[in-house]
Amino acid sequence: MDEEYKKLVSLMEQRVEVNKHKGLDIVIKKIPDSDVEGDLDPRVMNVTLDMLKAMASGPKMEFGSLAADNIGQLRAMMGWPNVDVTVTEIETDHKTIDGKDGPIPIRIYSPQKSGPMPAIVFFHGGGFIGGSVDSVENPCKCLAEKAGAVVVNVDYRLAPENPYPAGLTDCFDAVKWVYEHAAEINVNPEQIGVAGDSAGGNLSAVCSLMDRDLGTGMIKYQALLYPTVSMSGVATDDFEWNMEEYTVNHNHELIQGIIRALGSSTGLENIYLDGNTKVTDPYVSPLLADDLSGLPATLIIEAEYDYLRLEGEAYARKLIRSGVKTKMIRYNGVDHAFMDKIGLYPQAEDCMNEIAKGLKELLA
């Protein structure tokens, strides 16, 4: 691994402050090598400019008119070539387990550690229509190493071929399989958590709600990475999207475009749900759940320049009001899906370290 990158990862641990905003204590992780406020991390800037050039020279993509006939193009744009940053041996086992609706492929990452370990069941992002276990394999291996835990990467079914609740059913079935087969994979069944990015963060949050509602008591920790928790976009007493909430001091048009891009697509909820439930269903938009009490200890990680940031903060506040132990971390200078770029963005590796620390603190 490049020495400069290692230095930046180390600096992420040092450049931290805590700010209170609307009653929520937010741990702010600053750009590791810049004191400029209200601007993109230089690595994010370079990637963004390269992507804009590629998009300008490629086929035109209408993000505002999301429909089933451009799913393939969207899927091809998801994920990022990332790097294995582990320094110890992480065993990888490909398995197919039996779910309620059929087989579910999973990958199990295990550090070289004796005795039953904690487990984190990980759900990749991709708007419920894309993403893959491949794109999050290196982050999952990193998490296994840093947490000293078995990480299970779930290849759940995607819409539109398999609309709601197919993917959610697979995810919950995967958690249940880990719980019931804990001894087989060297896991302590009383130390199981869930984690996921974006749509995977939604699936993690909803699995935790289902676990509470069903009284199964399997999930003890949830780490939600820039999750979508209000697909309805409905304003609540504590949430209403507003660009004024974002601090942008430089590159205004570029940054505002980055923020708005994720919120400009229409039709995703229709493709995911396919009329099977309402977008206001708490198992789709958990921010709208009447009661969040009894949920597991929670870590919510957000990107400064992400359209989903405000709903994530509202979810954290609601969890805290419900008596749930909750920590909120915001990474400055980065945008949505920054975790995919582990090995390039130091924030991505630090994010895995924070998830690992949250698990260890819970189990201490």
What is the per-residue pLDDT for 364?
Answer: 79
Residue 68 has pLDDT above 90, yes or no: no
Lowest mean pLDDT of 75-79, 105-109, 110-114, 281-285, name the range: 75-79
The closest alpha carbon to 115, from 363, 298, 357, belongs to 363
Residue 267 has pLDDT above 80, yes or no: no
Contact 97, 84 (CB under 8 A): no
DSSP 159-184: TTTS-TTHHHHHHHHHHHHHHHTTGG
Residue 52 has pLDDT above 50, yes or no: yes
The set of residues, in sequence order, having a beta carbon less than 8 Å from that of 69 and lying 6+ positions away, is none
The closest alpha carbon to 222, from 252, 244, 200, belongs to 200
What is the per-residue pLDDT for 61?
Answer: 53
pLDDT digits (tens, 9 = 90+) for 72-83: 888 988 988 999
Q: For the chain, give the mean pLDDT.
A: 94
Cα–Cα distance measured from residue 140 to residue 136, given in angstroms and rounded to the nearest whole number: 6
Cα–Cα distance measured from residue 338 to residue 335, given in angstroms and rounded to the nearest whole number: 6
User: For residues 279, 281, 286 and 287, what is the CA-based torsion angle, rounded to 10 degrees?
Assistant: 70
What is the per-residue pLDDT for 76?
Answer: 86
In sequence order, the β-bridge partners of residue 225 are 197, 301
What is the per-residue pLDDT for 312?
Answer: 98
Q: What would you report as the CA-atom Rg of the chain, rounded to the nearest whole angstrom? A: 19
The set of residues, in sequence order, having a beta carbon less than 8 Å from that of 253 and lying 6+ positions away, is none
The closest alpha carbon to 324, from 239, 230, 220, belongs to 220
SS3 295: coil
Helix runs in the chain, H state only: 3-12, 42-57, 71-77, 137-147, 166-180, 199-214, 252-264, 268-273, 309-321, 346-363
Helix runs in 36-148, H state only: 42-57, 71-77, 137-147
Residue 98 has pLDDT above 80, yes or no: yes
- State mean pLDDT over 334-363: 97
| Cβ count near 128 (within 10 Å) | 30
pLDDT digits (tens, 9 = 90+) for 281-321: 999 999 999 999 999 999 999 999 999 999 999 999 999 99
Residue 328 has pLDDT above 70, yes or no: yes
Contact 301, 226 (CB under 8 A): yes
pLDDT digits (tens, 9 = 90+) for 220-252: 999 999 999 999 888 999 999 999 999 999 999
At residue 59 the predicted structure's pLDDT band, cuts being 50, 70 and 90, is low
User: For residues 312, 78, 259 and 165, what is the CA-based torsion angle, rounded to 10 degrees?
Assistant: -40
Of all residues in the chain, what percent carry a pLDDT higher than 90? 86
- State mean pLDDT over 182-187: 98
Residue 67 has pLDDT above 60, yes or no: no
pLDDT digits (tens, 9 = 90+) for 128-159: 999 999 999 999 999 999 999 999 999 999 99
What is the per-residue pLDDT for 73?
Answer: 82
Contact 317, 24 (CB under 8 A): yes
- State mean pLDDT over 193-217: 98
At residue 264 the predicted structure's pLDDT band, cuts being 50, 70 and 90, is low
Burial class (CB in 10 A: 0-12, 13-18, 19+), 168: buried
What is the per-residue pLDDT for 63?
Answer: 45
Regarding beta strands 90-99 and 102-111, do their DSSP bridges make them parallel or antiparallel, or are they unpaired?
Answer: antiparallel
Residue 1 has pLDDT above 70, yes or no: no
What is the per-residue pLDDT for 150?
Answer: 98
What is the per-residue pLDDT for 58?
Answer: 66
At residue 300, φ and ψ (nearest 5 deg) are -115, 125
Contact 35, 17 (CB under 8 A): no
Burial class (CB in 10 A: 0-12, 13-18, 19+), 27: middle
pTM comes to 0.97
> Which residues belong to the active site?
198, 306, 336
Regarding beta strands 150-154 and 117-123, do their DSSP bridges make them parallel or antiparallel, or are they unpaired?
Answer: parallel
Cα–Cα distance measured from residue 148 to residue 118, given in angstroms and rounded to the nearest whole number: 8
| Cβ count near 251 (within 10 Å) | 15
